[in-house]
Amino acid sequence: MSVLDSIIEGVREDLASRRLSMAQISEAIESAPKVRDPLATLLNNEISLIAEVKRASPSKGPLASILDPAALAEQYESAGATMISVLTERRRFGGSLDDLDAVRSRVDIPILRKDFMIDEYQFFEARAHGADVVLLIVAALGSNQIKDYHELTLELGMRALVEVHTHDELERALDISPQIIGINSRNLKTLDVDATVFAELIPRIPRDLVRVAESGISTRSEVEHAQAQGATAVLVGEALVRAGDSAAAVRELLGLDRLEP
């Protein structure tokens, strides 16, 4: 069993324990906060930072305790992040829907629910908890699932960050006409990182799509390198949660401190 298979198995078990009826989840959606669409900003910014609330990872283990995820998200927002990514997977990443609720209540920028979306129910659940964007990991889904889940995401008013790691996954992703493509340099089946993946795949992505570089970015020079290759956004978690001053780390990644007199 690959690492990804193991994670998905746990996600299914946890989902079964919290699943509500469709009547209950539909009622929750009716009272959910209005969707904040990040697409125009992501397309128009020279480079955007998606800053992540992330306690742990399968590759590195515990990263930070993050006792107040909303306060951390506020720091990200005040420093210039375009969007907040909130891990909601519990077993390997230490996240929860409570984290999503807390962050949504305290920031004014769009929220990405970062989880392993492998069941239709999770999309209704994401919207009920105020998510504006959800993650679709091509490696975790069949071609019909990718298409159906992408359509459902749009029907619910959200956007999808469609994540790929290989040429084949990118071709499958492009078949659904996505608006946001994430290229993850980490192979979720082995957890190995290949820094060349982004450079190999980026030329195949149409220039009118949002192109997000994921994994292995922790310095300003790495952000500049990704941008030079064609990234319009970067997603960063570990470097930010481990920083002593998360707001300063955001500004450094965006090069904002260098603009100050």
Annotated active-site residue 163? The verdict is yes
Annotated active-site residue 77? The verdict is no
User: Which two three-digit tokens encode residue 146?
Assistant: 């990718």
Catalytic residue among 52, 125, 169, 238: 52
| Residue owning tokens 């029907």 | 155
Annotated active-site residue 114? The verdict is yes
User: Which two three-digit tokens encode residue 26?
Assistant: 């539909």
Annotated active-site residue 214? The verdict is yes
* 8 Å CB contact between 202 and 178: no
Catalytic residue among 48, 54, 185, 246: 54
Catalytic residue among 77, 163, 169, 238: 163
Catalytic residue among 57, 85, 215, 246: 215
Catalytic residue among 48, 89, 114, 246: 114
Catalytic residue among 169, 214, 238, 252: 214
In angstroms, the CA 42 to CA 64 distance is 28
Catalytic residue among 85, 184, 187, 246: 184
Annotated active-site residue 187? The verdict is no
Annotated active-site residue 222? The verdict is no
Give the 3-state DSSP-derived string for the chain, with helices as H, strands as E and coil as C: CCHHHHHHHHHHHHHHHHCCCHHHHHHHHHCCCCCCCCHHHHHHCCCEEEEEECCEECCCEECCCCCCHHHHHHHHHHHCCCEEEEECCCCCCCCCHHHHHHHHCCCCCCEEEECCCCCHHHHHHHHHCCCCEEEEEHHHCCHHHHHHHHHHHHHCCCEEEEEECCHHHHHHHHCCCCCEEEEECECCCCCCECCCHHHHHHHHCCCCCEEEEECCCCCHHHHHHHHHHCCCEEEECHHHHCCCCHHHHHHHHHCCHHHCC
Just list the catalytic residues. 52, 54, 114, 163, 184, 214-215
